[in-house]
Structure 1
Amino acid sequence: MMHFPLRLLRSAVLVTACGLLLVAVAGVLGEDRVAVAFGGVLLGLLYGAGPAVEGRPVPGRVWLALVTAGWVVLAVAAPAFVWLAFPLLFAYLHVLPLWGAMFGVAVLTSAAIAAAAWHAGGLTVPLVVGPAVAAVVVTLLALACRALTAEADRPPGRG
């Protein structure tokens, strides 16, 4: 059974991902980039399939690799898709063991910074600080949820 704080966090992440995806898809549709918008819809469907593979190590990792690959393609295609990296960070922290998640968060954050800088025509302080701070906050939230879940799962009298 999933604990309430964890369910609440996952719901917030899903709503954030959907909102960012809608903004990105609407933006590229406004530019008449239908193929990129279609790719965004496909990425959303794939991202939404995450709970179906939850708790299964190999399918979860395959899902994460596919979502990441789709994100990379879309982040290169249009700047609005770059910001979908942040809900994806939670997926890394949920699906992978801690050491793999930390590595994945660092790589994904670096890729988001690089893609944003590429679209902007150069690297700026906000393009580095924003994603870096977001990655730290996401990581701390995910680790706090892990700790809360472990505490709640601990049998009474053990502390």
Structure 2
Amino acid sequence: MMDIPLRLLKWAAPVTACVLLAIDVVGAWRDGRTAVAVGGVLLGLVYAAGPAIEGRRRFARGLWLGLVTSGWAVLAVAAPPFVWLAFPLLFAYLHVLPLWAAMFGVAVLTSAATLAAAWHAGELAVPLLVGPGVAALVVTLLALACRALRAEMERRHHEYELPPGGRAGRAVRR
């Protein structure tokens, strides 16, 4: 029963990223910024490759995360709306990297998003400091809660198993 909310949460970040990216690409296209729109489409394609590398080696996942982050950084400098794609990307950091590296990545990405937004705005205002920090905190707490729920679900799955030659529905505790 617990796996349904976890599956929904697992898809929430990629769907949010794709929706934000689509809005930004359409906006850039409508504004005549073809290069930015094409860059957004390319970023979307690289981002969409994420599930394909999920079971791969750490190097492949790190390379994918580096490409996505680099693409985001270029677009965040090119057009203000792309700055906010950083927040769904935080879930990727927390999913792909070990916890210590993810925390470092979250701090760096949040700082970069804050600086890019301030650069586009022409000033560093309080909302640009507080908003991204609060968003990063919420994303981090949600991702950690998902990890804890997933670990608990796996623990329970391994704790109860069918006895040898047993019938389905007669789980025994090891």
TM over 0.5, shorter chain: yes
Q: For residues 49 and 116 of structure 2, what CA distance do their matches in structure 1 show?
A: 25
Q: For residues 51 and 4 of structure 2, what CA distance do their matches in structure 1 show?
A: 16
The answer as to 2:154 corresponding to 1:119 is no
Quote the residue 2:69 is aligned against.
68
> What is the TM-score when the length of structure 1 is the normalising length?
0.94
- What's the CA shift for 1:5? 2.6
Q: Which has the larger radius of gyration?
A: 2
Give the letter aligned to residue 150 of structure 2.
Answer: T
- What's the CA shift for 1:28? 1.1
Give runs of aligned pairs for residues 29-44 of structure 1, distance below 5 A.
29-44=29-44
Give the letter aligned to residue 61 of structure 2.
Answer: G
Quote the residue 1:87 is aligned against.
88
- What's the CA shift for 1:31? 1.5
Quote the residue 2:19 is aligned against.
19
The question of whether the paired residues in 2 share the 8 Å contact of 1:5 and 1:145 is answered with no
Q: For residues 47 and 6 of structure 1, what CA distance do their matches in structure 2 show?
A: 21
1:57-88 deviations in Å (ceiling 9; x for gaps): 11111000000000000000000000000110
Q: 1:156 aligns with which of 149, 156, 159?
A: 159
Percent identity between matched residues is 71
Q: For residues 129 and 22 of structure 1, what CA distance do their matches in structure 2 show?
A: 26
The question of whether the paired residues in 2 share the 8 Å contact of 1:16 and 1:87 is answered with yes
Q: For residues 140 and 47 of structure 2, what CA distance do their matches in structure 1 show?
A: 19
Quote the residue 2:104 is aligned against.
103
- What's the CA shift for 1:55? 2.7
> What is the TM-score when the length of structure 2 is the normalising length?
0.86
> Which deviates more, 64-73 or 49-58?
49-58
- What's the CA shift for 1:4? 2.6
The question of whether the paired residues in 2 share the 8 Å contact of 1:113 and 1:127 is answered with yes
Quote the residue 1:5 is aligned against.
5
Q: For residues 73 and 52 of structure 2, what CA distance do their matches in structure 1 show?
A: 22
- What's the CA shift for 1:22? 1.3
Kindly indicate whether structure 1 or structure 2 has the higher relative contact order, using CA contacts under 8 Å at least 6 residues apart. 1
1:91-112 deviations in Å (ceiling 9; x for gaps): 0000000000000000000000
Structure 1 residue ranges without an equivalent (≥5)? none
The question of whether the paired residues in 2 share the 8 Å contact of 1:29 and 1:37 is answered with yes
Quote the residue 1:53 is aligned against.
53
